[in-house]
Amino acid sequence: MGVCHSLRSRVIGPQSSIAYTGRGGGTGGTEGDQGHADLASDPQLRDRLRAEEKARMKAENKRSRSIDKTLKAEKREYKQTHRLLLLGAGESGKSTIVKQMRILHVNGFNAEEKKQKIQDIKNNIKEAIETIVAAMSTLAPPVQLASPENQFRIEYILNLVNQKDFEFTAEFYEHTKILWQDEGVKACYERSNEYQLIDCAQYFLDKIDIVKQSDYSPPDQDLLRCRVLTSGIFETRFQVDKVNFHMFDVGGQRDERRKWIQCFNDVTAIIFVVASSSYNMVIREDNQTNRLQEALNLFKNIWNNRWLRTISVILFLNKQDLLAEKVLAGKSKIEEYFPEFARYTTPDDATPEPGEDPRVTRAKYFIRDEFLRISTASGDGRHYCYPHFTCAVDTENIRRVFNDCRDIIQRMHLRQYELL
């Protein structure tokens, strides 16, 4: 029936207004009758049309099989792909983890990408010195310059705050370098937990003479340290031992979290990243809430989310290098922000790094156990928390930690598709 209909459509055409012979034998037109007559009287025409129709049907069937094959292959690839969702509060180090995956598994960054990052690195230097010198007069008590004759340099820097399309001149680098060497500016930097300062401030301010060179090309460590606010959702694809991974990095600031729900579908595992060193800092959003407490609250919300009750969480207790610096400096004690730390003793399962100070071991395990208290208090056996101590700017550390996590992720993936 399909063939006859198609033949008729080809001869007559779907838009034709042709009258047919009525039952009484009257004719309502001659064009359609002539077409039928042509088919009846010309077997070659009839055979040619049938051959064309057969070829068309064959082509359509071939195209349909090709589409089915492609869909099946895509479905197979989708099922074989491990989808990892990076979550955590702002400035916890999520984007740095993604950069490490690129360095370790996607041939790093090419020359053009490095060139584009130079501007971001210079902007980090500008933001760092602006933030520090602006804070000197707003802290309580305020901080004075060690060399008052440098005051005009501060005024120069503060005049740049709202300038767009700023040119990084030799004058800017000179003022910034001299200010950074001032002991008063250094003293203000030491109180950076009292205001909002990017983590990479000291790193890049120490490298001014290198960054300002016209032939400067940032090495991997500079790319890892560079801070750019993440807004939106970024996907990075990479392969490890023929296993496909898709890693989704989502902005961690409060106004970005509404976008997280878009990524929850069919996730293999959540990697929750915590800035362990943030115990004495407040979030940018309100300059009031403790950053580590914000991370704990966020972790609790994710852990108890009814849509995520079957998705396990790999916990990256990040910025261990900065945590160790703060603990050993002894200026900001954890118990001043988390009183329960005063009663905390290092657990028996603690495995310190070689040469690690016991004070650092106690601090990092306290933070770990604060998160594990949440996961064990409301766990129902359907998802688990796997903690790891990380330093996102240390490539070897991330290589080792991610290798340790791969077996966990593989088990989660098999369980996801009911293969385990």
Binding residues for Mg(2+), as ranges, are 95, 230
Catalytic residue chosen out of the listed positions 253, 289, 346, 410: 253
Annotated binding residues, as ranges? 91-96, 224-230, 249-253, 318-321, 392
Structure tokens, 20: 């047919």
Helices (H), 242-341: 291-303, 320-329
Catalytic residue chosen out of the listed positions 83, 153, 227, 362: 227
Q: Taking the CA of residue 202 as centre, how many other CA atoms within 13 Å lie in the half-sphere pointing to its CB?
A: 10
- Whether 361 is a known active-site residue: answer no
- Whether 227 is a known active-site residue: answer yes
CA distance 343 to 334: 12
CA distance 28 to 21: 6
Is residue 93 within 8 Å of 272, Cβ to Cβ?
Answer: no
3-state secondary structure (DSSP) of residue 28: coil
- Whether 149 is a known active-site residue: answer no
b/e map 394-412, b = 16+ CB within 10 Å? bbebbeebbeebeeebeeb
Catalytic residue chosen out of the listed positions 91, 182, 199, 222: 91
Catalytic residue chosen out of the listed positions 199, 222, 249, 294: 249
- Whether 415 is a known active-site residue: answer no
Annotated binding residues for GTP, as ranges? 91-96, 224-230, 249-253, 318-321, 392
Q: How many CB atoms lie within 10 A of CB 210?
A: 12
Structure tokens, 109: 């960054």
3-state secondary structure (DSSP) of residue 385: strand
Is residue 244 within 8 Å of 82, Cβ to Cβ?
Answer: yes
Is residue 103 within 8 Å of 395, Cβ to Cβ?
Answer: yes
3-state secondary structure (DSSP) of residue 38: helix
- Beta-carbon contacts of residue 338 (< 8 Å; ≥ 6 apart): 279, 292, 366, 370
CA distances from 69 to 63, 73, 135 (A): 10, 6, 62
- Whether 174 is a known active-site residue: answer no
CA distances from 236 to 97, 99, 172, 247 (A): 11, 9, 36, 5
DSSP 60-116: HHHHHHHHHHHHHHHHHHHHHPEEEEEE-STTSSHHHHHHHHHHHHS----HHHHHH
Beta-strand relationship, 233-240 and 243-250: antiparallel
Catalytic residue chosen out of the listed positions 83, 96, 176, 294: 96
Active site residues: 91, 96, 227, 249, 253
